[in-house]
Structure 1
Amino acid sequence: MEKTNIINTTEQTTSQIYQWTFELAKTAGVQDRIAHILTSAGFLIVAFILLALLDFLLKSFFNSIVTRLIKKTKSNWDDYLLDNKVHVHLSRLILIAVSQQFLPLIFVGFPSFVTALDKFLSILVIFAVYGLVNSVLKTARDILRSSMAFVDKPLDSYLQVFQIFLIFVVGTLIVSILTGNSPWSFLVSLGAASAILMLVFKDTILGFVASIQVSANDSVRVGDWIEMPKYGVDGDVLQINLNNVSVQNWDKTIVTIPTYTLLSDSFKNYRGMQESGGRRIKRAIHIKISTIRYMDNSEIEELRKIALLAPYIAQREEEIKKYNNEHNVDEEVLVNGRRMTNVGLFRAYIKAYALHNPNIHQGLTLLVRQLDPTENGLPLELYMFTKGTEWAFFEDVMSDIFDHLFAAIKYFDLEVFELPASDDLRHLLDKRVQEIQ
């Protein structure tokens, strides 16, 4: 009530000053219209000077006093207010609000212009409020992002949803001001065009739904390593917003895909692998099948010298001896009963080597298995996990293991399958020519 009385008093004072100036201009022999123009121009100059002074005072207050106080505090949330220029939008809103209250009084002699000016200033107030609210929302996003609980959440998507809602509200209010109708009547007429709006904002709506489901299901976080071969995606997620997801591939290229593809297409997320602490090795050595055979006693005794293999040989010998005795096996024929083979001992050696390797995770699956024989030999697959997920560490460990196994396979009188090279064929041809000669 007191504020209204102050404004009314100010309006009366301004009106009296305007009338006094107008009469003074008429006394000087100026026509009425020219007198109104001169009076309004004088008031306008004074108003600009006062607004410039107010703008200077606001900037001085925010840039000196408020900024110093914020920088002295230990908390970060007020720093985010400063970074997102909340004070700039607030001072702008104050200037426009003051202008809206007092500038229409300048044009007393032009009532039609006052109406248009009032609508224009009302629209500027709406834009200023939108800028202030948008800055506050960005500040809230930055504050939440600094918390560990929200560091991997798609906060940009939520921010964009609020921004779209604000833009819709701003548009509705502007149309209402320009037409002079209630905002509700505009919304009712807008319902008829909802089908067109859904078509126009199809990607935005799909992205919004996808962002909510991705967040609710916790299927993708910022920082996750994902792979989508269809879109050439193989790297870390940099950003998840309403319309797209940015991924930095391992070759440092950045790929942007629509957010809704995370729901419509399949993708691989390596987060589970990274959280488990182990990365899978799944690679096979192809054994030349013609080199697979039974081992005789002398060869077994020679392999017993391998420290990792000796316990297995001793246990296996007891099992074989017991079985053969129970079944009265004729050991003169090698195929009778049970015997050790070079590929079986090699497989046992690989497993023992992995079990004693400090870089192999012993708490996860560890297998050395035979796959189906192919035209490229018998695949002997290593299925195990390294004790670490870093790419360089993983590659080094896997390379060290296979370096050792390729060198050790000769002790078991086995050969790795290789397709014939040109030198092999040339050697056979030369040998055949010599035999003919």
Structure 2
Amino acid sequence: MLNLRHFLYDFFIENGLTEDTAKYLNMLGLLLALLLLAFIVDYITKRFLWHFSAGIAKRTKTGFDDILITNKLPRNIAHIIPLLILIEFVPQVFTDFEYAKNIIEKTLQIIAIVLTLQIIRSILSSIKDYLKTLSRYKDKPIDSYVQVFMIFAWLLGFFSIIAIITGVSFIKFATTLGAASAVILLIFKDTILGFVASIQVSINDMVRIGDWITFDKYGADGDVIEINLATVKVQNWDKTITTIPTYALISDSFKNWRGMLDSGGRRIKRSVIVKTSTIKFLTDEDIERFSKIQLITDYLETRAKDIKAHNSRNNIDKSVLINGRNLTNFGVFRKYLQTYIENHSALNKDMTLMVRQLEPTPQGIPMEVYAFSKDQRWANYEYILGDIFDHILASVKFFDLEIYELSLDKHI
């Protein structure tokens, strides 16, 4: 091995400089030469690795190597060779300066640890980005797992750096930290809770990226765009971003709309309130008039015959309309709406289609439509919902019914 100790020292001594001056100038000269060498080697290595990896990436079909380049793995690896050169020759450069040599050596060791962590991060980030390109992993919380590995890596790196600075062996330092585990657990409480929550969320398939969730406690109502170790990001419908602690997903109640999206229909559950005072029994004239409404023509003819036959068999006195069996405008209206939604092209016929009468209220009797639209997209769903109830509101008057409207006395 080349002895750098007297490489410039003898030259300075021969030119009449003192020993101390010669030592300092020798050290500075060698240090500048070493740094220049390290810089040149680093530059050449980076250029070589970049061109080499780019060439391989162009020839291969997989996108993983491209992701490695994007995450700067070749550049980080290129720093290894100049770092090894510095570690090898720095002790010779600082032979006459023991205190400075120890500091520089420790600094280089710390840089080596940080560089190792950077390489690990590049690899893990590349794996994360690659898995996200695969359809079966797109909705998985890959970010959380990568963050867990990086936290452990940074903790090991941090403890190693402290051990280097203090001069204490790593094992002895780790043993000392074990005694302070309670404090460590307190400091990293949120991280630990987030890690446990991420595992439970993944195993139980509670939330995936892309799911629509509603979390009233945090004001979240939108799509999950990111699941990390500590937080879950939700993009609300107004394009704002809500951040939710990951552990809140297992400690609090929230609504995931994935079941609705997977079911093939989005629920419509809305009612109109019909004035009780407008509900009446139908006369023969009413039935004849309503029979002109095509959706219920067959129904009215069949029902009218059945009712007349029943009343005739039982000698019912129909001079009083309430006697015997009768049709009501409210019941016929309900049947009309049932037939209407069964024939509506935008509703899912394989799911519940029902028009029902709810419990009477002081304002009147609610008539509720319970169905599922085929189109689950918000804008289209609202259009379908509006179209149905536009028709309902417009058709009420044809059955001699009225919708309740609150009227305020202007003199109050």
TM class by smaller structure = over 0.9
RMSD: 2.0
Which one-letter code corresponds to 1:156 in the other structure? D
Question: Of the candidates 217, 223, 233, which is equivalent to residue 246 of structure 1?
Answer: 233
Separation in 1, partners of 2:395, 2:16? 116
Q: Decide whether the 8 Å contact of 2:41 with 2:81 is kept in 1.
A: no
Tell me, yes or no, if structure 1 residue 108 matches structure 2 residue 95. Answer: yes
Tell me, yes or no, if structure 1 residue 212 matches structure 2 residue 199. Answer: yes
Q: Decide whether the 8 Å contact of 2:333 with 2:399 is kept in 1.
A: yes
**1:59 corresponds to:** 46
**1:297 corresponds to:** 284
Secondary structure at 1:353 match in 2 = helix
**1:388 corresponds to:** 375
Secondary structure at 1:352 match in 2 = helix
More off after superposition, 328-337 vs 342-351: 328-337
> Closer, same or farther in 2 for the Cα pair 1:326/1:170, shift >3 Å?
farther
Deviation at 1:71, TM superposition (A): 3.8
> Closer, same or farther in 2 for the Cα pair 1:108/1:379, shift >3 Å?
same
Separation in 2, partners of 1:221, 1:113? 54
Q: Decide whether the 8 Å contact of 2:91 with 2:101 is kept in 1.
A: yes
More off after superposition, 327-336 vs 198-207: 327-336
Deviation at 1:91, TM superposition (A): 1.3
**1:306 corresponds to:** 293
Separation in 1, partners of 2:54, 2:196? 40
Deviations 1:146-194 (A, max 9, x none): 0001101111111111111111110111122222322222122112222
Which one-letter code corresponds to 2:188 in the other structure? F
**1:402 corresponds to:** 389
Separation in 2, partners of 1:418, 1:112? 91
Secondary structure at 1:295 match in 2 = coil
Which one-letter code corresponds to 2:123 in the other structure? V
Alignment of 1:7-26 (within 5 A): 10=1, 14-15=2-3, 17-19=4-6, 21-26=8-13
Which one-letter code corresponds to 1:335 in the other structure? I
Q: Decide whether the 8 Å contact of 2:53 with 2:69 is kept in 1.
A: no
**1:320 corresponds to:** 307
Separation in 2, partners of 1:23, 1:230? 77
TM, length-normalised to structure 2: 0.94
Separation in 1, partners of 2:380, 2:8? 86
Separation in 1, partners of 2:116, 2:348? 58
Which one-letter code corresponds to 1:246 in the other structure? K
**1:288 corresponds to:** 275
Deviation at 1:141, TM superposition (A): 0.2
> Closer, same or farther in 2 for the Cα pair 1:318/1:191, shift >3 Å?
farther
**2:262 corresponds to:** 275
Separation in 2, partners of 1:287, 1:147? 54
**1:418 corresponds to:** 405
Tell me, yes or no, if structure 1 residue 366 matches structure 2 residue 340. Answer: no
**2:110 corresponds to:** 123
Which one-letter code corresponds to 1:296 in the other structure? T
Tell me, yes or no, if structure 1 residue 261 matches structure 2 residue 248. Answer: yes
**1:227 corresponds to:** 214
Q: Decide whether the 8 Å contact of 2:147 with 2:229 is kept in 1.
A: yes
Separation in 1, partners of 2:166, 2:352? 71
Separation in 2, partners of 1:230, 1:359? 34
Alignment of 1:150-229 (within 5 A): 150-229=137-216
More off after superposition, 313-322 vs 261-270: 313-322
Separation in 2, partners of 1:104, 1:82? 34
Secondary structure at 2:294 match in 1 = coil
Separation in 2, partners of 1:367, 1:20? 96
Which one-letter code corresponds to 2:13 in the other structure? K
Q: Decide whether the 8 Å contact of 2:274 with 2:401 is kept in 1.
A: yes
Where do 5+ consecutive residues of structure 1 fail to align? 1-9, 427-437
Deviation at 1:341, TM superposition (A): 0.6
Percent identity of equivalent pairs: 43
Deviations 1:309-344 (A, max 9, x none): 122223423543454456554433333332111000
More off after superposition, 290-299 vs 412-421: 412-421
TM, length-normalised to structure 1: 0.89
How many residues end up aligned between the 2 structures? 412
More off after superposition, 325-334 vs 97-106: 325-334
**1:434 corresponds to:** none
Question: Of the candidates 323, 327, 331, which is equivalent to residue 318 of structure 2?
Answer: 331
Which one-letter code corresponds to 1:228 in the other structure? F
Tell me, yes or no, if structure 1 residue 30 matches structure 2 residue 17. Answer: yes
Question: Of the candidates 43, 52, 64, which is equivalent to residue 77 of structure 1?
Answer: 64
Separation in 1, partners of 2:306, 2:65? 75
Deviation at 1:100, TM superposition (A): 0.8
Separation in 2, partners of 1:20, 1:398? 89
Deviation at 1:418, TM superposition (A): 1.4
Secondary structure at 2:30 match in 1 = helix
Deviation at 1:226, TM superposition (A): 1.0
Q: Decide whether the 8 Å contact of 2:7 with 2:26 is kept in 1.
A: no
